[in-house]
Amino acid sequence: MTASPAPDVEIRHRQVEVNGNELHLVEAGEGPAVILGHGFPELWYSWRHQLPALAAAGYHAIAFDQRGYGDSGKPEAIADYDIVHLSDDLLGILDVVGDDQGVFVGHDWGTPPVWATAQRAPERVKAVVAMSVPLSPRSSGPPIAIFKAIFGDTFFYILYFQEPGVAEGELDPQAERFHRGFLYSISGDAPPGSFKVMPAAGTGLLDCLTFPDELPAWLTEDDLSTYAQTFTKTGYRGGLNFYRNFDRNWEASAAWDGTLIEAPTLFIAGEKDPVLLMSPPDRMTPLVPGLRQTVIVDGAGHWVQQERPDEVNRALLTFLADVF
């Protein structure tokens, strides 16, 4: 589905020093800060439909390449991609733009840092918009061991990503093919079973994907090229390192476990998003007393703000008007 024509607003790019690392910010508009964090394997570009809409409505929209992605810095240490660093990046961006509080919006891997920031520094959080990833109760033990027990001999991408160099060796040389298959296979346009269940032994991520003859309407060849050209240049190590911190994040989260999120909160997800099967949204209800609305977008998959930009923008702007 294509978006409505974007308002004619200036899009500004700059490099800033944040939390000991350089981040690439992409900004539009003036007003209260709305900071947009993307997921895997994406870029600031994933918010291309939200930036002009937010700016036209009177907000200072700030998308950015997360650490390890695109034109942002790419620290060497895996530990530099843990949830504390990612949350501190959000707070650092807020400091750079000079605001005491901001609205934090996250999708996929952009969402856990938003949840953590709302728990670690609630005084800096005006409101939360989480997409695709609900806040889940802290698990009873380290997540990787739990995943191994659940999935056994079945391929599970998070376990496949754990060994440094393995997924990079498969994906780095095939960025265009990977993005074509991955973005399609967990979108609302893909038929059931497009992300295939495979044995763990001898399986790579590309083996699990379905590759469309034609791209869905929401993803143009130019869009795909933007992703593919960037990741061909940068590789996937930075984004994969987020996944290599599951256990470290679990340990760190003990410091704020049980902190309820009181800030006004909106949750948005696609009806066909497979993440909702792993993390049902109703599990977050007792953890987020500030939750005002859950919007499940009919027909959309995991890439909800790209697949259904008009519906997402409408929900986002309605929520923000109520918050402010």
Q: Are 107 and 134 contacting, i.e. CB atoms less than 8 angstroms apart?
A: no
Query: How sure is the predictor about 138, in pLDDT bands with cuts at 50, 70 and 90?
Result: very high
Q: What is the average pLDDT across 64-82?
A: 98
Is the sign of the CA dihedral 128, 130, 136, 142 positive or negative?
negative
Residue count of the chain, please give it: 324
Find residue 267's DSSP bridge partners: 130, 294
Do the Cβ atoms of 131 and 266 come closer than 8 Å? Answer: no
Distances (CA, A) of 16 to 19, 61, 255: 10, 16, 29
Mean pLDDT of the chain: 97
Average pLDDT over residues 138-149: 97
| Candidates 108, 179, 189, 273; catalytic one | 108
Q: Edge-to-edge strand order for the sheet containing 125-131?
A: 12-18, 21-28, 60-65, 33-37, 102-107, 125-131, 265-270, 291-297
Q: How many CA atoms lie within 13 A of 168 on its CB side?
A: 15
Quick check: is 247 catalytic? no
Contact 64, 93 (CB under 8 A): yes
Query: With 90 as the cut, is the pLDDT of residue 6 above it?
Result: no
pLDDT at 2 over 60: no
Per-residue pLDDT reduced to its tens digit, 204-220: 999 999 999 999 999 99
Active site residue 302: yes
pLDDT at 5 (0 to 100): 65
- In order of their start, the domains of the chain are 12-323 (3.40.50.1820)
How many angstroms separate the CA atoms of 23 and 51, rounded? 17
Alpha-carbon distances, residue 222 vs 45, 203, 225, 226, 227 (angstroms):
12, 30, 5, 6, 9
Determine contact, residues 275/133, Cβ cutoff 8 Å: yes
- Are 109 and 99 contacting, i.e. CB atoms less than 8 angstroms apart? no
| For range 51-75, the mean pLDDT | 98
Confidence (pLDDT) at 112: 98
Q: Where are the alpha helices (DSSP H) in the chain?
A: 50-56, 83-97, 111-120, 143-151, 157-160, 166-171, 175-185, 221-234, 237-243, 246-252, 275-278, 304-307, 309-323
d(C-alpha 23, C-alpha 67), whole Å: 7
Q: What is the pLDDT of residue 95?
A: 98
Question: Residue 10: is its pLDDT beyond 80?
Answer: yes
Give which of 147, 110, 154, 150 is closest to 128, Cα–Cα.
Answer: 110
Could you report the per-residue pLDDT of 85-112, keeping only the tens digit for each?
Answer: 999 999 999 999 999 999 999 999 999 9
pLDDT (tens digit, 9 = 90+) per residue, 283-323? 999 999 999 999 999 999 999 999 999 999 999 999 999 99
Check residue 20 and give its pLDDT.
Answer: 94
Catalytic annotation, pick one of 49, 85, 107, 302 = 302
pLDDT tens for each residue of 160-198: 999 999 999 999 999 999 999 999 999 999 999 999 999
Confidence band for 8, pLDDT divided at 50, 70 and 90: confident
Look at phi and psi of residue 201 and say left if phi exceeds 0, alpha if psi is from -120 to 50, else beta. beta
